[in-house]
Structure 1
Amino acid sequence: MSALVLTGAGVSVEDVAQVARSGRKVEVEPVVIERLDKARKVLDQAAASGQQIYGLNTGLGANLGTSVEGDASAFQRQLLEGRSAAVGEPLPQEAVRATMFARAAMFSVGGSGISPAVFTALVDALNAGVHPVMPQFGSIGAGDLVLMTGLARLLTGDGEADYQGRRMPAAKALMMARLAPISLAPKDGLSLINASAVSVGSGALALADALSAFAQQQQAGALTMEGFGANRTILDPRLHLARPAACQQLAARGLRDLLARDGEPAPTTLQDPLSIRCMPSIHGALIQATDHARLALEIELNAATDNPLVLGDDGLVLSTGNFHTASLALAFETLGLAIAQCAAASVARLIQLSGSGRNGLPKYLSPVGGASAGFVPLQKTATAILAAIRHKANPVMLDFLPVSEGVEDHATQTPLTVSKCTGMIVLWRRLIAFELMAAAQAVDLREGLTLAPHTAAIHTVIRALVPTLKDDRPLGIDAEALYATLAGGNWQATLQLADLVEEQL
């Protein structure tokens, strides 16, 4: 995999995922260093002129009116030490790497006044796999300042790091990686921490997962339509052109593509339950929500988010609120609600498939009947999971209190909105596994059914992992096996191979 080159623009959600999860290396265009050097000189000149600059020659928060004199580097170290208040379990390594990369991407835009050597040290640590230990609790979304101190202290050789699978003092990790601790020039410490890089990096990973889970949800929905004998006229493009709402045309097209075949089967019903008939509307709303989340994330990844901000071309240093992520928090609240709506429809389809028998399907999807439980126990498990999703879907972005003597009297709770959305995606994927299992069972029980090539490939992959239910057995074990493949990244590659085989047949 070639290195990702930072230029100060064009960083995507997929770039974050590749660096965080696949270890893609990061390189820096020379123009970025030139941009940083120019901003650094503007910052130093402003300070030399006697201008009050927040976090450089003044205290932070309620200490804004306190002048700072003497050793500037010592003040920056004090600034970091005094704000290292995060607690809890450390962030996962992929989230830490996403944070490091997100902050580097933001720096490359310019505007922070960060010393080029400090920026380079951040990129070097990322490429070397030296990861700070960053406890997860401490940010209310007005910048991730408290959480980010773990990253800043790593670069100065303080705190702890994970390196080569072991936790150790940061200074030792840097030494083993043949890196040296940095010295902090005025404002360097504040520049490292006063940003929402945890929210943005973790948000990018969450969105990448949401996109892959949505593709799987479309596949599950299409296979359900096959097994249920659903009326496919609901996917007619003319219907969605008549009400072109919230990307429902895209969702309907995706389902049509999955169900495409020579000779459409005749409808077996006039109208299906709403969880099937309204699938394009439900899924379209989620597509729109992912689009909004991407826009919000990629603005942050490619923007100067610092306070104060150095305007290199204008020779100015001005205070800002650019670290504040109200739009990003709202995007993830919306994404979470859209996921919950999709998850609820998935559970509804599972219950339709595994109920008392619809459209010629046997009761509980059991081929033996009688006292057989069939797929009914999964209805309870699915409902329990859906309740957990609904709980996480409750908005939190308004849950804050004024802090720092009322100076910081508004916040966004962006890290929490991202975190709960991440948890919802994990749960949602379990429901997708349930729907895939039930739909595959319905397909097996429907006599004379010929699947479309794409849905046949989906069915083949499911059956390679989970056999047809012939007698009651522990379905939870089967569901775990299918979920592991859906979540582990092997599903799509396996499905593409199966698709190729179906096309050749």
Structure 2
Amino acid sequence: MEGNFKYSNYNIDYATERASELSIKNNNSILMSQQTVTGDCVMVEKPITLVIDGNSLTPKDLSMCGDMNVKLALSKECKEKVNKARKFLEKIVDENKTVYGITTGFGTFSNVQISPKEIEQLQVNLIRSHSTGYGSPLPPPRARMLLALRINVLAKGHSGISLENIEKLIKAFNAFCVSFVPQQGTVGCSGDLCPLAHLALGMLGEGQMWSPRTGWDDAHKVLKANNLEAIKLGPKEGLALINGTQMVTSLGALAVTKAFNLARQADIIAALSLDVLKGTTRAYDFDVHRVRPHRGQGISARRLRALLHSDNNPSEIAESHRNCGKVQDAYTLRCVPQVHGVVHDTISFVHGIIQIEMNSATDNPLIFADREEIISGGNFHGEYPAKALDFLAISVQELAQISERRLERLVNTELSGLPTFLTPNGGLNSGFMTVQLCAASLVSENKVLCHPASADSIPTSCNQEDHVSMGGFSARKALTVVEHVEAVLAMELLAACQAMEFLKPLKSTEPLQKVYELVRTISPPLENDRYMYPEIQHVIKLIRENKIYEVVEERLIEIRDLEEINPNAMRMNAGSPTGIFM
């Protein structure tokens, strides 16, 4: 396989998951849509409805929920579970039993009994008192993802919220009405209390909300403008809305989705750099990676073989240095499969953690209506997604670190044999001088951002909540790191395409030539210095939209299938342009 990574019961198929075609499977129905990755979400071109069942939402599904074309509906089975849990909870309230967060206060105040006439006010007070976040709000698409994930968790039927209030949340989602949710203020345990309280506050008609119809405005005005009703909280419903790991996990779902798209295109960009730097592909031989069979490494090596070797359209650049006598390349070229490969494997691992978390009951206490029990537990602790997202950042940043070093080789005439800074008239022109400088600055920032937030813990709530995950920062950092890596790889790709100008009339392989031609549709060759920022942004957009992958996808799948039949199909030998025995 091109790469069928597995974690638990979840798969990422690195060959068949197409950037142009998205399949979402819910309740035995398959919904197809064109999709595009942007900074804030996965954009879809055709209206679709995700049927929420509390069990099968994927990171890609959730990443689409920032787009207006996506609507939500609740499955019949979920409605039954929600009603059953609510009925049992109301029975507990009627019997005046002591249950945490229902007939008692919260945290340190869990020993304070709440009178029946104050039970509903308790829930309203909870939302108001916990809406104490800091910083700029989540962009509306990300706030909508957060809302979708909270709906999915409530739909599991272990939180005790009423079906009526879940349906109000879904109506708000479908109208794209989202609350003002500051990005800072969660310690990732007891759930993401602060951001989720802000999410709920707007639905009470308090604070601020956003909708396409109104922009940012007072929540009660936004609800009214969209013909929506505010939520009225009953017993436990405030707690049900704010206790869980959805802030960490929703941002994590977007980060891992973007990282997946980015990592497979990093292989393609590295292949182009290797060709224009006249490197040898001998290190990508099938047997080299067969004897160290990490899945990600094998996938990366196969992609490099597929892109750099073609009997029908071989690289004229590679042919030109067939007999150069070069034995081996620097690590940034020779070790691409080993470095990129572990990133692929990490993404697969993190994807599994995030998907499990997305479909988990992370409330407290949990209602088990079938057993007629309410149990206080610790599923709200965000350690799983926090650790996974710290791991994701540490791993993905390596794509930028190795990319920036390849970029340095491209602009350094002593290493590449190409004109210094890839400009035909150096001195008067600076060419790619500060493109590499900018890449270096982003790589340096990433190194700081890769310090694991989850290594820290500060006790809160009078030491009742004495160990926390700090997962909110883990998630925000991971997203920032991924976006920095997108930029660095875009800079490398621009430089590799510029390098090809100095190798003409020689051409690369057919698939890599297609990559070059795609870039040239938005960024012409650099003959004299010009304003480069817009072009860098356009190439970042190509990467986010999977366009780099799309133009070579057919070749990657063809070689995957060929090597499954015959592992020797792409074997390199001393007679090939870059096949040199060591």
Q: TM-score range by the shorter chain?
A: over 0.9
Give the aligned residue type for 1:66: V
Q: CA deviation at 1:369?
A: 5.3
CA distance in 2, matches of 1:478, 1:177: 39
Over 3 Å counting, the alpha-carbon distance change for 1:499 and 1:50 in structure 2 is: closer
Comparing 93-102 with 399-408, greater Cα deviation is found at 399-408
CA distance in 2, matches of 1:472, 1:431: 20
Contact map agreement 1:357 1:364 (CA 8 A) in 2: no
Q: Which residue of structure 2 aligns with residue 21 of structure 1?
A: 67
**TM-score normalized by structure 2?**
0.81
CA distance in 2, matches of 1:20, 1:374: 38
Structure with greater strand share of residues:
2
Over 3 Å counting, the alpha-carbon distance change for 1:184 and 1:476 in structure 2 is: closer
Comparing 70-79 with 328-337, greater Cα deviation is found at 70-79
Tell me, yes or no, if structure 1 residue 196 matches structure 2 residue 253: no
Tell me, yes or no, if structure 1 residue 162 matches structure 2 residue 210: yes
**Which one of the candidate residues 405, 419, 422 is aligned to 1:362?**
419
Give the aligned residue type for 2:523: V
CA distance in 2, matches of 1:472, 1:75: 64
Over 3 Å counting, the alpha-carbon distance change for 1:176 and 1:377 in structure 2 is: closer
Q: Which residue of structure 2 aligns with residue 323 of structure 1?
A: 380
Q: Which residue of structure 2 aligns with residue 178 of structure 1?
A: 227
**Which one of the candidate residues 97, 100, 106 is aligned to 1:54?**
100
Q: Which residue of structure 2 aligns with residue 103 of structure 1?
A: 150
1:214-240 Cα shifts (integer Å, max 9, x gaps): 233222111111211211122222111
SS in 2 for 1:450: coil
Contact map agreement 2:268 2:303 (CA 8 A) in 1: no
**Which one of the candidate residues 119, 122, 126 is aligned to 1:75?**
122
Q: Which residue of structure 2 aligns with residue 124 of structure 1?
A: 171
SS in 2 for 1:418: helix
**Which one of the candidate residues 397, 407, 420 is aligned to 2:454?**
397
Contact map agreement 1:246 1:281 (CA 8 A) in 2: no
Aligned residues, how many?
498
CA distance in 1, matches of 2:158, 2:266: 41
Q: Which residue of structure 2 aligns with residue 40 of structure 1?
A: 86
Q: Which residue of structure 1 aligns with residue 296 of structure 2?
A: 247
Comparing 244-253 with 63-72, greater Cα deviation is found at 244-253
Contact map agreement 1:91 1:134 (CA 8 A) in 2: yes
Q: Which residue of structure 2 aligns with residue 8 of structure 1?
A: 54
Q: CA deviation at 1:260?
A: 4.2
CA distance in 2, matches of 1:141, 1:402: 12
Give the aligned residue type for 2:85: A
Contact map agreement 1:260 1:453 (CA 8 A) in 2: no
CA distance in 1, matches of 2:542, 2:68: 18
Comparing 400-409 with 213-222, greater Cα deviation is found at 213-222
Structure with greater helix share of residues:
1
1:224-303 map, 5 Å:
224-245=273-294, 247-262=296-311, 265=318, 269-303=326-360
Q: Which residue of structure 2 aligns with residue 217 of structure 1?
A: 266
CA distance in 1, matches of 2:264, 2:327: 27
Comparing 433-442 with 470-479, greater Cα deviation is found at 470-479
Give the aligned residue type for 1:87: Y
SS in 2 for 1:261: coil
CA distance in 1, matches of 2:473, 2:241: 21
SS in 2 for 1:320: coil
CA distance in 2, matches of 1:130, 1:74: 25
Comparing 354-363 with 435-444, greater Cα deviation is found at 354-363
Q: Which residue of structure 2 aligns with residue 430 of structure 1?
A: 487
Over 3 Å counting, the alpha-carbon distance change for 1:372 and 1:129 in structure 2 is: closer
Q: CA deviation at 1:246?
A: 5.6
Contact map agreement 2:410 2:416 (CA 8 A) in 1: no
Q: Which residue of structure 2 aligns with residue 345 of structure 1?
A: 402
SS in 1 for 2:111: coil
Q: CA deviation at 1:50?
A: 4.2
Unaligned 5+ segments in structure 1 are none
SS in 2 for 1:292: helix
SS in 1 for 2:86: helix
Contact map agreement 1:355 1:376 (CA 8 A) in 2: no
Contact map agreement 1:121 1:182 (CA 8 A) in 2: yes
Contact map agreement 2:268 2:549 (CA 8 A) in 1: no
CA distance in 2, matches of 1:230, 1:158: 62
Q: CA deviation at 1:211?
A: 1.8
Q: CA deviation at 1:362?
A: 3.4
Q: CA deviation at 1:319?
A: 0.3
Give the aligned residue type for 1:26: L
Q: Which residue of structure 2 aligns with residue 65 of structure 1?
A: 111
1:360-387 Cα shifts (integer Å, max 9, x gaps): 4334333345775333332222211211
Contact map agreement 1:461 1:495 (CA 8 A) in 2: no
1:150-203 Cα shifts (integer Å, max 9, x gaps): 221222222211122511221222222112112211000000001111111111
CA distance in 2, matches of 1:406, 1:234: 55
CA distance in 2, matches of 1:283, 1:61: 45
CA distance in 1, matches of 2:383, 2:430: 48
1:80-121 Cα shifts (integer Å, max 9, x gaps): 112111122111111101100001111122211111111111
CA distance in 1, matches of 2:177, 2:527: 51
Give the aligned residue type for 2:137: P
Q: CA deviation at 1:125?
A: 0.7
Contact map agreement 2:397 2:482 (CA 8 A) in 1: no
Q: CA deviation at 1:297?
A: 1.1
Give the aligned residue type for 2:163: P
Give the aligned residue type for 2:262: A
Unaligned 5+ segments in structure 2 are 1-46, 556-582
Comparing 447-456 with 6-15, greater Cα deviation is found at 447-456
Q: CA deviation at 1:137?
A: 1.6
Q: Which residue of structure 1 aligns with residue 18 of structure 2?
A: none
SS in 2 for 1:258: helix
Q: CA deviation at 1:499?
A: 8.0
**Which one of the candidate residues 496, 508, 525 is aligned to 1:439?**
496
SS in 2 for 1:21: coil
**Which one of the candidate residues 124, 137, 146 is aligned to 1:90?**
137
CA distance in 1, matches of 2:430, 2:262: 29
Give the aligned residue type for 1:232: T
Contact map agreement 2:120 2:234 (CA 8 A) in 1: yes
**Which one of the candidate residues 362, 369, 394 is aligned to 1:305?**
362
Over 3 Å counting, the alpha-carbon distance change for 1:129 and 1:370 in structure 2 is: closer
SS in 2 for 1:253: helix
Q: Which residue of structure 2 aligns with residue 149 of structure 1?
A: 197
CA distance in 2, matches of 1:27, 1:144: 25
Contact map agreement 1:95 1:198 (CA 8 A) in 2: no
Give the aligned residue type for 1:148: L
Q: CA deviation at 1:486?
A: 3.5
Q: CA deviation at 1:9?
A: 1.7
Tell me, yes or no, if structure 1 residue 417 matches structure 2 residue 465: no
Contact map agreement 2:265 2:549 (CA 8 A) in 1: no
CA distance in 2, matches of 1:144, 1:23: 27
1:461-472 map, 5 Å:
461-472=518-529
Give the aligned residue type for 1:451: S
Quick one: percent identity of the two aligned structures?
A: 28
Contact map agreement 1:46 1:316 (CA 8 A) in 2: no
